[in-house]
Structures are given as structure tokens and as C-alpha cells.
Amino acid sequence: MGKIAIEDLAKIQEAARYKIALRQGAGRVRLNVHMGTCGIAAGARGILTEVMKEIESRNLHDVIVTNSGCAGLCSQEPMMTVEVLGEPAPVKYVLLTSEKVKKIIELHVLKGQAVREYALALGSERTR
């Protein structure tokens, strides 16, 4: 470590922005990868890694990634629920592949356009 200048404060802040946003639980978008046994068997772990890579490479500071249990539709796994702040309901995407993940992030997460052809339905099961 060397001495820092006032401008360096902003750089350090920028570098840690995603980390701090996550710790505060603040995000515009929440991506929930379903990780029940069925999901894991169908490749959900790979999907999760893919999602994280996309976030990293696109430098997205406002996207939270979580995982949850089986969504109840095991035949359609791997699945992911996309929740965007301000949108009326979350969207569930099914039978995911890494190409589909890229497109969902490109269109839905960044531009707010749900990708209808990969989507199962609007809405979500209650999680309590």
C-alpha cells in the first residue's frame, strides 16, 4: 500500500461497489436460481456460474444472485426467477442453457424486455 490521493477514494469505492451493494441487500434485479436436487441434476450449478460470470464481465452492480429450493416443476429445470424492481411480477425462465442466460441478462435485466420464448409464466410461488 502506498499513499493515496483524494481521487483514489472514488476508485476504491467503485471497486467495492458490488460487494457493498450485496452486503446492504440493495439491488435493482434479483436473479434466483432454483437449486433443488432436480435443478442441480439438470445443471443449475453451471447456470449459476454462468450468471455470475455475466455479472462480472458486464460489471453489473445492482444485480443480486440467490438460490432457492425446488420450484416444483422438476421437468423444466434448470430454472431461474427474475425479479426487477418496479415490474409488476417476477418472471420464471425454464430449461436454461448458457446462451439463454446471456440473452436473458442482455434483454430482460439490462433492457427490461422479458424474453417471452424462454419464459414459463409470470408470477411466483409464495416462499414462506
Partner 1 sequence: MAYRTYLMVCAGTGCVANQSMKIKDKLESEIRKRGLQDEVSVVTTGCNGFCAVGPLMVVQPDGIFYQLLKETDIAFLVEEHFVKGRPVKELLYTPPKEKIPIPKMSDIPFFADQTLIVLRNRGLINPEIIDESIARGGYEAIAKVLTSMTPDDVIREIKASGLRGRGGGGFPTGIKWETCKKMPGDVHYVICNADEGDPGAFMDRSTIESDPHAVIEGMLIGAYAIGSTEGYVYIRNEYPIALERLQTAIKQAREYGLLGKKVFNKDFDFDIKVVRGAGAFVCGESTALMASIEGRPGEPRAKYVHTVERGLWDKPTCLNNVETWANVPQIMLRGAQWFASIGTGDVTADPWGGSKGTKVFSLAGKVNNTGLIEVPMGITLRKIIFDIGGGIRDGKKFKAVQTGGPSGGFIPESLLDLPVDYEELTKVGSMMGSGGMVVADEDNCMVDMAKYFLSFTQTESCGKCVPCREGTKRMLDILEKITVGEGTEEDLVLLEELSNMVVESSLCALGGSAPNPVLTTLKYFREEYEAHVRNKKCPGHSCRKLITYAIDPQICVDKGHGCHVCAKNCPDGAIIGESKQVHTVDVMKCGKCGICYDVCKFDAISVE
- Binding residues for partner 1 (CB under 8 A): 1-6, 9, 12-13, 15-27, 33-37, 40, 48-49, 52-53, 55-56, 64-69
The Cα–Cα gap between 90 and 26 comes to 17
> Is the C-alpha dihedral spanning 85, 67, 59, 121 positive or negative?
negative
Nearer to partner 1 by C-beta: 50 or 118? 50
The single residue listed with the C-alpha cell 467495492 is: 16
Nearer to partner 1, 2 or 88 (CB): 2
| Shortest distance in whole angstroms from residue 117 CB to partner 1 | 26
Least distance CB 84 / partner 1 (angstroms) = 15
Q: Are 101 and 31 in contact (CB under 8 A)?
A: no
